[in-house]
Structure 1
Amino acid sequence: MMYFFRIVFPVLLIITGMPAGAQIVNVESRRIQTDTTGWAGSFGGSINLSKNVDKVFSAGAFAHLQYKNSKNLYLFLGDYSFLKGAQKKYTDNAFFHLRYNRKISNLLRWEVFTQLQTNKISKIDNRFLTGMGPRFKLSGSGMLQIYLGVLAMYEYERALTEPPVSRHSVRNSSYLSFTLKPTATLEIISTTFYQPRLDQWGDFRILNQESANLFITQKLSATINWNYLYDQFPVEGIPRSNYTFSTGFKYAF
């Protein structure tokens, strides 16, 4: 723990000093489950159809890099998407996520994360997140894994409105995640996030994501994702609820 507070956490704070923006991102579906130490990663692409303010078509690519040893896990995610909706094109929907996970015991982990992202469709010019908290392993059997996270995070957001609006807040960021592997070729991940403001609990977001990975080979899989987001106080002009359905392929190495 002293190593974590003296070295890892200050490094993350330096990195998170950059401007940012984001939607809720389901990190659970991006973790690579492995019993071995060392480097792992994946990359892939997708074609998406979503309904928000307008019907939106998008295509994108992502990269994922992960390092794990007996006590520590380092996770980096990058994503860039092309979106088209309402006869307009958007080419700057991107996010970067960095997370550190320290194993304290078989039950308890400690997490620190930061995230940078932009999303013009949701009128988010910049949003910056940084936070930390405990992660509990409630079940770790071969077929079913259950995790509960109870984190606190600081959030800065700048909206694409006229005039631009910026706001700061501190939120709880709790999640419950199930990973089910009924067969050797099928993996199902279900994750629900709850993010209320700590000073105003009526201002909250809920995200549910259902993901299925069908392994074609040991490293190549077809993916299906369903996302539902409810935001009690979204940016002006954006509906409180929206959904996204996506399908594509993923290659892990």
Structure 2
Amino acid sequence: MIRILLLATALLIPGVISAQLVNIESKRVQTDSIRFTLDADFSFNHTNNDGSQVNQIDAALTTQLKSKDLRKIYFFLGNYKLIDSGEENLQNAWFLHGRFNYKFSQLLRFETFLQGQYNQLLVVEQRNLIGAGLRVKWIDKERFTGYAGNSYLYEMESSDRAGTTNYNHRNSTYLTLSYKAKSQKFSITNTVYYQPLYRDVKDYRILEQFRLDIPLSTWLKVFTLYNYYFDSKTPLNTEEYTSNLNLGVGIRI
């Protein structure tokens, strides 16, 4: 009964992200033999400073489905974040991502994806994109797994503050390394993304993410997530960065 209540709570609140570049690697399910998974993360924070109250909700829903031959992979991620001071929303952000993978071999895959996101705090409040590329497994050990990928992105960036809407062609490169303890008591994933414009490599974005998961049972876990995001050139011709540390609880069925 407790498990059902936790899952229902997570499903009713679409999930969370604070930067406009999002780490999909931490949400993938890397076990080849698992055909269907559903993950839900949820965290809540309440702060009261001399009567000034702030509530924060962070949640995420991820699902992955594989074909019978395990070569085709369908992946979906939904996130939502709200920080409410009672008088106004200090932050409102959402993120949706859909992806298809086709496995050519144990080492090489093709992937294509669609993505939409919004964050009221950043100069680029809304970004929508479509992309495709290749993904390579560069480490395949008992405890360590590593992936690298390179993709082409076509994106639309909208900024209310700058009063602009830009259509860009970007390259996206990522490198990820995961470690799973022999005792299965914890797992660690670290990922770096680099996304420059093709026409101007000085205009780029970087995301660094570190994630620690500690299972409490076969379906319940606690996690720590740290993100650092940097944009070298916004539509206002300024640099922008965000960092976020999040502690929470998640489930998997």
Give the TM bin, normalised by the shorter chain.
0.7 to 0.9
Task: Please provide the CA RMSD for this pair.
Answer: 2.3
The aligned residue for residue 18 of structure 1 is: none
Number of residue pairs aligned between Structure 1 and Structure 2: 225
d(CA) in 2 for partners of 1:167, 1:176? 27
Does 2:89 match 1:89? yes
Contact between 1:122 and 1:238, CA under 8 Å: does it hold in 2? no
Q: Which has the higher contact order (CA 8 A, sep 6+)?
A: 1
Identity of aligned residues (%): 30
C-alpha distance 197-57 of structure 1, shift in aligned 2 (>3 A)? farther
Given candidates 28, 31, 37, the residue that maps to 1:31 is: 28
Contact between 2:95 and 2:117, CA under 8 Å: does it hold in 1? yes
The aligned residue for residue 10 of structure 2 is: none
Gaps of 5+ in 2: 1-18, 47-53
The aligned residue for residue 14 of structure 2 is: none
Structure 1 residues 135-188: Cα deviation after superposition (integer angstroms, max 9, x where no partner): 0001112200000001110110111216x2111111110000001112312110
TM-score (norm 1): 0.82
Contact between 1:172 and 1:198, CA under 8 Å: does it hold in 2? yes
The aligned residue for residue 17 of structure 1 is: none
The aligned residue for residue 12 of structure 1 is: none
The aligned residue for residue 37 of structure 2 is: 40
Gaps of 5+ in 1: 1-21, 50-55
d(CA) in 2 for partners of 1:33, 1:97? 18
C-alpha distance 235-221 of structure 1, shift in aligned 2 (>3 A)? farther
C-alpha distance 177-57 of structure 1, shift in aligned 2 (>3 A)? farther
d(CA) in 1 for partners of 2:168, 2:233? 13
The aligned residue for residue 174 of structure 1 is: 173
Does 2:115 match 1:118? no
Contact between 1:120 and 1:160, CA under 8 Å: does it hold in 2? no
d(CA) in 2 for partners of 1:235, 1:155? 14
The aligned residue for residue 4 of structure 1 is: none
d(CA) in 1 for partners of 2:134, 2:30? 19
Q: Which secondary structure does the structure 2 equivalent of 1:234 belong to? A: coil
Contact between 2:143 and 2:179, CA under 8 Å: does it hold in 1? yes
Q: Which secondary structure does the structure 2 equivalent of 1:202 belong to? A: coil
Q: Which secondary structure does the structure 2 equivalent of 1:124 belong to? A: coil
The aligned residue for residue 251 of structure 1 is: 251
Matching residue's letter, 1:62? A
The aligned residue for residue 71 of structure 2 is: 71
The 5-angstrom pairing of residues 1-253 of structure 1 reads 23-47=20-44, 58-69=56-67, 70-84=70-84, 88-90=88-90, 92-161=92-161, 164-183=163-182, 184-236=184-236, 240-253=240-253
Q: Which secondary structure does the structure 1 equivalent of 2:151 belong to? A: strand
Matching residue's letter, 2:42? G
Deviation at 1:24, TM superposition (A): 0.7
d(CA) in 2 for partners of 1:229, 1:235? 16
C-alpha distance 37-226 of structure 1, shift in aligned 2 (>3 A)? closer
Q: Which secondary structure does the structure 2 equivalent of 1:200 belong to? A: coil
Deviation at 1:235, TM superposition (A): 4.6
d(CA) in 2 for partners of 1:25, 1:237? 22
Contact between 2:91 and 2:119, CA under 8 Å: does it hold in 1? no
Deviation at 1:234, TM superposition (A): 2.5
d(CA) in 2 for partners of 1:199, 1:63? 35
C-alpha distance 37-225 of structure 1, shift in aligned 2 (>3 A)? closer
C-alpha distance 237-216 of structure 1, shift in aligned 2 (>3 A)? farther
Q: Which secondary structure does the structure 2 equivalent of 1:83 belong to? A: strand
Contact between 2:73 and 2:100, CA under 8 Å: does it hold in 1? yes
